[in-house]
Amino acid sequence: MTELKNDRFLRALLREPVDVTPVWMMRQAGRYLPEYRATRAKAGSFLDLCKNPELACEVTIQPLDRYPLDAAILFSDILTIPDAMGLGLFFETGEGPRFERPVRTLTDIDRLGVPDIEDELGYVTEAVRVIRRELDGRVPLIGFSGSPWTLATYMVEGGSSKDFAKVKGLMFDEPAAMHKLLGVVADTVTAYLNAQIAAGAQAVMIFDTWGGALTPRDYQAFSLDYMARIVAGLKREAEGRRVPVILFTKGGSNWLERMAGAGADALGLDWTIDIGEARRRVGERVALQGNMDPCILYASPPRIREEVADILAAWGEGPGHVFNLGHGIHPHIDPENVGEFVRAVHELSAPYHH
């Protein structure tokens, strides 16, 4: 493998010194970029794009050609896993994701098994290989998966949900069935992330988009415990380097201390917590990634710069911070503003690293 030319993202995740604070954006390969929209149009549907390793590689690299970002993230979707488990993912125009065969009963759950990753998700590992080749050591490549709880919400609801009525009904009334479902999903996520690591992912991130919809007790039992089990099952070293793991629960700032004990190297933060306070709460246990409100990117470049400065000041000195948005970038952001954001992180963070 080619030597990594920019490893400040990996170093920051391991709380090692860096020259400037590394920065990337969740959903950086996305609709705000005209070149993404062009490739997407060429691919056909969103799912066609996910399943085409060459085109997935193309959109993964597009933001790196525009901005000096410090990491690439595999272009894919968290719902590839339930699709590979036989639920039949599809997207209706103007609607969110849907499943042809949602999981509702214990019989449905009993029927699920851990799919063969190369057979069912080979297009993902192939995309990882193609992207690594094309990146040629520019920056590290992040692999990712949804968390078992988050995936289960889609699997049981049959798509997106506002109130999680069905999945929480199952969780409250049939906890054993819910644990069985989460167990098989967790085993699949573990195999899936390990396959991404084997294919060349240099860090992995688990997205727990809906963990924040749970009570603290249910979050522990139905989301965090399964993420900890996945982390414990991951190959944490590849190509002679540690493969850092990042956990991100949107709306999870209430229970950061517990997340810090789950075995991951870093936690992602949304913008509902001051990053200085988060740092004090987790101490030396993990690095932190975040946490600018994505809506700041609607503002003017000077305002964006000011916000970056505020977050850098809240973190202060010392390693362990990866700059990011607190959630994915929105589709209607002006790409010029993103340029100002990335530039501001590198320029304004330099004085904090010496």
Q: Where do contacts with a copy of itself occur on this chain (CB under 8 A)?
A: 163-165, 168-169, 172-173, 212, 214-218, 251, 253-254, 271-274, 277, 293-296, 298-300, 303, 307, 310, 330, 332
Q: In the annotation, is 154 catalytic?
A: yes
Active-site position among 154, 192, 219, 226: 154
In terms of DSSP bridges, do strands 89-91 and 97-99 run parallel, antiparallel, or are they unpaired? antiparallel
CB of 218 to a copy of itself, least distance (A): 8
| Residue matched to tokens 């595999």 | 74
- With b for 16 or more beta-carbon neighbours within 10 A and e for fewer, the 159-178 pattern comes to bebeebebbbebbeeeeebb
CB of 24 to a copy of itself, least distance (A): 20
CB of 132 to a copy of itself, least distance (A): 33
Q: Are 127 and 75 contacting, i.e. CB atoms less than 8 angstroms apart?
A: yes
Which is closer to a copy of itself, CB of 192 or CB of 219?
A: 219
Q: What are residue 146's phi and psi, to 5 degrees?
A: -75, 160
CB of 249 to a copy of itself, least distance (A): 11
Active-site position among 8, 15, 32, 77: 77
Q: In the annotation, is 40 catalytic?
A: yes
In whole angstroms, what is the distance from residue 105 CA to residue 118 CA?
28
Q: In the annotation, is 192 catalytic?
A: no
Which is closer to a copy of itself, CB of 271 or CB of 323?
A: 271
* Tokens, residue 107: 């019989």
Which is closer to a copy of itself, CB of 97 or CB of 244?
A: 97
CB of 275 to a copy of itself, least distance (A): 10
Which is closer to a copy of itself, CB of 200 or CB of 252?
A: 252
Active-site position among 11, 40, 138, 229: 40
Q: What are residue 310's phi and psi, to 5 degrees?
A: -60, -45
What is the SS3 string spanning 195-255? Answer: HHHHHCCCEEEEEECCHHHCCHHHHHHHHHHHHHHHHHCCCCEECCEECCEEEEECCCHHH
Which is closer to a copy of itself, CB of 305 or CB of 346?
A: 305
In whole angstroms, what is the distance from residue 131 CA to residue 53 CA?
8
Which active-site residues does the annotation give?
A: 27, 31, 40, 77, 154
